[in-house]
Amino acid sequence: MILPEQITKRSGAIVPFNRDRITNAIYRAAVAVGGRDRALAEQLADQVVAMIARDFGPAGIPTVEDVQNIVEKVLIENGHAKTAKAYILYREERAQRRAERDRRETQAQESVPWRKLWEVLNWAVDHDLHTIDRLNARLARGEWVDIVRESDAAYQHDIEQAAEQIVARREQIRVAIVAGPSSSGKTTTTTKLSLLLKDMGLSLVPLTVDNYFFDLELHPKDEHGDYDYETPQALDLELISQHLAALVAGERVMLPFYDFKTGRQHRDHTPMQLHANEIILIDSLHGLYAPMTADVPSEFKFRLYIEPMLQMKDQGGTFVRWTDLRLMRRMERDASHRAYDRQQTLEHWHYVRSSELRNIVPYINTADAIVNSALPYELPVMRRRLIASFARWAVQYDHDPLREDAADRAKRVYALLAQVGEPGPEEDIPGDSLLREFIGGSIYAY
């Protein structure tokens, strides 16, 4: 069997044919409906590949649509109707997002209540930080320390309000959830919230949902072949929900433990039981995803959503995109704490963002409280640290059909950072600042 060597993307670009992407797509669709048989996904991919070879031969160049049509045909003919439906729905969802490409990056903004957005914008105007030009003017006047202090105070105020809401419902709440997309600041927010509640007589007991990851071999992969920890289906959601319900009922449960070195989950590893004045704490990307806490009645839950909701316009009159702030944060965090190359973060970000739009953004309106983690002073800091890299990537990825998303983001972020003035000394950023979670030097242990 001789396969085509190339495939035509929807943009018209011709790129190398990659069989693994077919396997990954089939497996991801199966996982979405509860299946985790990777060997079966491989067998079905073999059938798809055989049809492609038969229909196009070694010299033919199928399109992405051709391949997807064949995948649907093979799934249905082999009796996998549910998987086929999940694949078709995902395919349609992707098509809709492509048709609304400019709009999709603003979906998070549109999901946040207007009252919250107005509060953030009003604060920005009051502090003369609602445009990059106004930020630069304050920097030029030597107000760097003031900007840091004012920004941190606004973020702290949001957390204090959330803590007060929890205390007001202390007789009911048994599970507190801190949720938000990648690099929104969940870890620092969780730490600060825990300290506040401790002072108010409550104790948060963490339940680490990372221990509920399925074995690595059962994980779906992204389109580049990387194991996907971003999707909620990478977690044993049913077991999480069962354990939470048992804990809320006062029962003793044995939690699993996930060994990231071996990629294996060990069941019945750690005992846990809830005591008086204790509230279970969940810090998770997918804390608002309904199946994770389906067995816990709503009145027992407090759901907090965190997002850097910067209300600042660039010199062209366009609001700075929140996802770009988080991208830069994650670059710095992963480079500092996880030995992960910044360029790899850029290349992978489109997949992170796609998962957020499917599994996080639609649930923002279920939150009981929303914390704005945007710090206007982080833009100058990121300018100093990253502008040279983004300038290089903007050139490197230009006209690369396999990295269109990376090229678009690199160009946009470079243009943004080029407008921003120089920051003051990073030593002026306090150790309890949320930004320290990403650039290092925090007083908190992460």
Query: Average of pLDDT values for 43-64?
Result: 84
Strand partners, 371: 306
103-439 CATH = 3.40.50.300
Of the chain, the percentage scoring pLDDT greater than 70 comes to 91
Average pLDDT of every residue of the chain = 88
Statement: the pTM of the whole predicted model exceeds 0.85: no
Which of 152-166, 220-234, 391-405, 416-430 is the least confident region? 220-234
pLDDT at 312: 97
For residue 334, pLDDT over 80 is answered with: yes
Instruction: Tell me which amino acid residue 384 is.
Output: R
Contact 25, 44 (CB under 8 A): no
Q: How many residues does the chain have?
A: 446
If you search the block for the tokens 């990648």, which residue do you land on? 182
Query: pLDDT-based confidence at 372, cuts 50/70/90?
Result: very high
Q: How far is CA 435 from CA 15, 48, 250, 373, 441, in A?
A: 39, 47, 37, 9, 9
Looking at residue 247, what is its pLDDT?
A: 96
pLDDT at residue 104, as a whole number: 47
Would you state the pLDDT for residue 298? 92
C-alpha to C-alpha distances, 419 to 101, 144, 426, nearest whole angstrom: 24, 17, 19
Alpha carbon 185 to its chain centroid, in Å, reads 11
Each residue of 264-298: pLDDT tens digit? 999 999 999 998 889 999 999 999 999 999 999 99
pLDDT band (50, 70, 90) for residue 93:
low
What pLDDT was estimated at residue 340? Answer: 80
CB 38 within 8 Å of CB 68: no
Residues of the chain with CATH 3.40.50.300: 103-439
233-252: pLDDT as tens digits: 889 999 999 999 999 999 99
Phi, psi of 60 (to 5 degrees): -75, 155
Model pLDDT for residues 344-369, shown as the tens digit of each residue: 999 989 878 888 888 898 899 899 99
11 against 216, higher pLDDT: 216
